[in-house]
Structure 1
Amino acid sequence: MTTPVWIAGVGMTPFGRHSGRSVSDLTRWAVTDALRDCGATTGALDAAFFGTATQGALEGQHMIAGQIALRATGVQGIPVVNVENACATGASAFALAVNQIRAGAAEVALAVGVERMNVGDPERTMAVFDSAYDVSDPDALTRTLLELGGAVDEPDLGRRSIFMDIYAALARNHMRLYGTTQEQLAAVAAKNHDHAAANPRAHYRRRMTVAEVLAARRLSYPLTVPMCAPVTDGAAAVVVCSEAGLRRLGDGARSARVEVLAAVMGTGTDRDPRGFEGHQSRMVSARAYEQAGVGPDDVDVAEVHDATAFGEILQTELLGLVPPGEGGPAALRGETSLGGRVPVNPSGGLESKGHPIGASGLGQIFELTEQLRGTAGPRQVDGARIALAENGGGFHRGEEAVTSVIILRGA
């Protein structure tokens, strides 16, 4: 029988621009809030897993980032493990913390993710994304994108991450296969901007219509700027524990606990990138559903990796939340909006809540914990009991280099 693992405390800074705050400042903020949430101090922690993807490139702190940032928070003496897994960094830190508990190596563990990406040099910030694919063979990326999305004759559309071109090629492939439209992409973006307006921690809180999304500045066809995640600073932290850990933390943690049913990760395989047979999101989610003892129809609310609006369309299909090819139409019909059949990204998602890479996966856990506790305010999904988070990172041979699927249940 699998050892039960519980989320006892969560903390998250507002996502946005944090000029004047350091990585240590943001870490302290999120960790302090997570510990306060479960009525604990740093002395209750047996281990910590610290995630950041860009601090080395942007600040030169290539090693011992967690030991430095967490020492400033008061975490000392315990094992601290540094984690980097591209955009899945925070989710990876969470999975490691959960496995530490399940292995019996700790009773209380901390997962924290942080990023300070707005460092006053946009060119340097954009350059960090160039290390999230195989840098030894850049021509392979070009060939893959041409195979997926064909050649597109566009003028220079300005500065953007290479991942916007990647997502655009993936979207064009999906449009060819299923007839997905740019209007459907805009419907996803408009929905998420609407959700974020009710989230006080979101980077962007301005509602947008489908027409406004379509009329915005183009990035790489079919994407426009509001369909894409911004460059964001922020941090999020989660305290997980065993039953013994819950007893140590006390009644407050027990009353607010959320159960971790599954925390599954996987890496892509060699396959035809133009189709979805064997796509790792499909494979990883199947393992997660089996481990959790639930299915897609049981999911009440989901946070998925929408670095672009197309990402949400694709992932809702691969996770089985909607049938293949129905991600876009479902968004247009309102099925994935608050009040719909299966609300997706009630936080506003990466497009609007923001995408501080190392913190994004844990930001999803923060949102879903609030949903399962019934404390999400105007974003609350009525009766939410089963929640799913999907988080992907990097790009390799036609899909994300790593995918995480986490399934939670309200106590």
Structure 2
Amino acid sequence: MTAIAVTGTGITPFGKRDESLKTLLLQACREALLEAERPRVDALFIGNFIGGPLANQEILGAMIAGELGLGPIPTMKTEGACASGGIAFRQAYQLVKAGEYDCVLVAGGEKMTNHPTETVITAVNYAMDNESSESFSGLTFPGFFGVLANRYMHEYGATKKHLALVAHKNRMYALNNPISQFKKPASIEEIMNARPITEPLGLFDCSPISDGAAAVVIQRTNSGGVEVLASGQSSGTPLMQEVPDMLRMNATYTSAQQAYAEAGFGPKELDVVELHDCFSMTEIIAIEELGLFEHGHGFEAVEQGQTKHGGTIPVNTSGGLLSKGHPIGATGVAQIVQIVQQLQGRACNQVDGAKIGLSQNLGGTGAYSTVHIFKKAGV
């Protein structure tokens, strides 16, 4: 039976890298193509957010295809802020599913550490509505998710310690991931007492500035690989003042429902999840919107260890954005790499018996969300 599957993965170490964006993308792509046994590639999709302002480089698709010797194939770059990589993967999957292509190479990458922090933050803020009153008032991404965290704590009784538990879990997972940006242990006390960024978020509650790239090969195949079961995508308002409920991330919920409907099952069938923890609070909201835990009870699940090995569902076994790193365009593809390797039984922090996995990639303050569901071969 013909299936659409990920047959090859590639990923670079995340963090401060000396290589260019082009070199990082090539490294990840070559690794993925070799693992897939060098298939004939019909198209190339690259997720990237701010390659222009930070790496002085656009035309990534044509450039990478040329360097890889793929010929005059169709190429494109997708941009959806932090969801750029997830959107690139979805576009490739949809076109293979539609029969347009048999094999597509998908990559994501970002080069962010070669500029002062102020320059990087200015570029990151391109993902906000910069003609809005919120932009003129100085609202930032930490500010938005800090407001969300304060509201959640007020409504449900969560505390800063619950945020620290998320950051601590992901840091502990990152210690075993060879590509992680952070490999130094951190205690709960250290996380809670770290330099404040915006109340109640501290340094460990916020994903770092990172360089890196990841790539996967998607093929129509009769054997091998990890099957792509479903894909969902949704949009939401980028403005806080238009959010109907600050405790909901509607794009995450809607894209998850689309993916569950296509897969033919719900969250109870999942064995492992990689989700978008740009801030520790975002992970708590995401586990609720994905249906892993009831709304208003995600923080309790974290406290009870339900999102770790031995709990209900291991979440962000890669270390997540918080500790694996967050090279923006690479993130959505890197999440897929971790899920694929989990289902192949060769991931860092391997989950025993993992058969079904999900990745969720968020863009902006909920402006975009993609959800993808995968199945182990032969299941």
Does the C-alpha gap of structure 1 residues 3 and 393 become closer, same or farther in structure 2, counting only changes over 3 Å?
farther
| Cα displacement (A) at 1:142 | 7.2
Residue in 2 that maps onto 1:322: 293
- One-letter amino acid of the structure 2 residue matched with residue 406 of structure 1: H
Provide the secondary structure at the position in 2 that maps to 1:72: helix
Question: d(CA) in 2 for partners of 1:64 and 1:327?
Answer: 41
Contact 1:3 1:102 in 2 (8 A): no
Contact 2:233 2:370 in 1 (8 A): yes
Establish whether residue 272 from structure 1 lines up as the match of residue 266 from structure 2.
no
Q: How does 1:152-191 map to 2 (within 5 A)?
A: 162-191=140-169
Question: d(CA) in 2 for partners of 1:359 and 1:66?
Answer: 14
Residue in 2 that maps onto 1:81: 76
Question: d(CA) in 2 for partners of 1:114 and 1:11?
Answer: 12
Question: d(CA) in 2 for partners of 1:175 and 1:340?
Answer: 23
Calculate the aligned-residue CA RMSD, in Å.
1.8
- 2:170 is aligned, of 192, 199, 217, to 192
Q: Could you give the per-residue CA deviations for residues 18-67 of structure 1, whole angstroms, max 9, x where no partner exists?
A: 12x111110110001101111115xx100010111111111333x42221
| Cα displacement (A) at 1:143 | 7.9
Establish whether residue 125 from structure 1 lines up as the match of residue 120 from structure 2.
yes
Q: How does 1:379-394 map to 2 (within 5 A)?
A: 379-394=349-364
Residue in 1 that maps onto 2:259: 288
Figure out how many residues of one structure are paired with residues of the other and give that number.
373
In structure 1, list runs of 5 or more residues that go unmatched. Answer: 146-161, 247-253
Structure 1 stretch displaced more, 69-78 or 322-331: 69-78
Residue in 2 that maps onto 1:65: 60
Residue in 2 that maps onto 1:158: none
Provide the secondary structure at the position in 1 that maps to 2:197: coil
Question: d(CA) in 1 for partners of 2:299 and 2:165?
Answer: 8
Contact 1:133 1:394 in 2 (8 A): yes
Establish whether residue 5 from structure 1 lines up as the match of residue 1 from structure 2.
no
Establish whether residue 367 from structure 1 lines up as the match of residue 341 from structure 2.
no
Does the C-alpha gap of structure 1 residues 102 and 50 become closer, same or farther in structure 2, counting only changes over 3 Å?
same
Residue in 2 that maps onto 1:406: 372
| Cα displacement (A) at 1:275 | 4.6
Question: Equivalent pairs: percent with the same residue?
Answer: 37
Question: d(CA) in 2 for partners of 1:332 and 1:30?
Answer: 36
Contact 1:28 1:70 in 2 (8 A): no
**TM-score in terms of structure 2 length:** 0.94
**TM-score in terms of structure 1 length:** 0.87
Question: d(CA) in 2 for partners of 1:168 and 1:303?
Answer: 22
Residue in 1 that maps onto 2:209: 231
Contact 1:27 1:73 in 2 (8 A): no
Contact 1:339 1:381 in 2 (8 A): no
| Cα displacement (A) at 1:71 | 2.0
Residue in 2 that maps onto 1:113: 108
Provide the secondary structure at the position in 1 that maps to 2:196: coil
Question: d(CA) in 2 for partners of 1:112 and 1:57?
Answer: 19
Question: d(CA) in 1 for partners of 2:205 and 2:196?
Answer: 10
Residue in 1 that maps onto 2:195: 217
Contact 2:274 2:316 in 1 (8 A): yes
| Cα displacement (A) at 1:121 | 2.5
Establish whether residue 14 from structure 1 lines up as the match of residue 13 from structure 2.
yes
- 2:313 is aligned, of 314, 328, 342, to 342
Question: d(CA) in 1 for partners of 2:305 and 2:185?
Answer: 16
Question: d(CA) in 2 for partners of 1:217 and 1:166?
Answer: 18
| Cα displacement (A) at 1:4 | 3.3
Contact 2:55 2:111 in 1 (8 A): no
Q: Could you give the per-residue CA deviations for residues 65-112 of structure 1, whole angstroms, max 9, x where no partner exists?
A: 221233223333100011111000000000011011011111000110
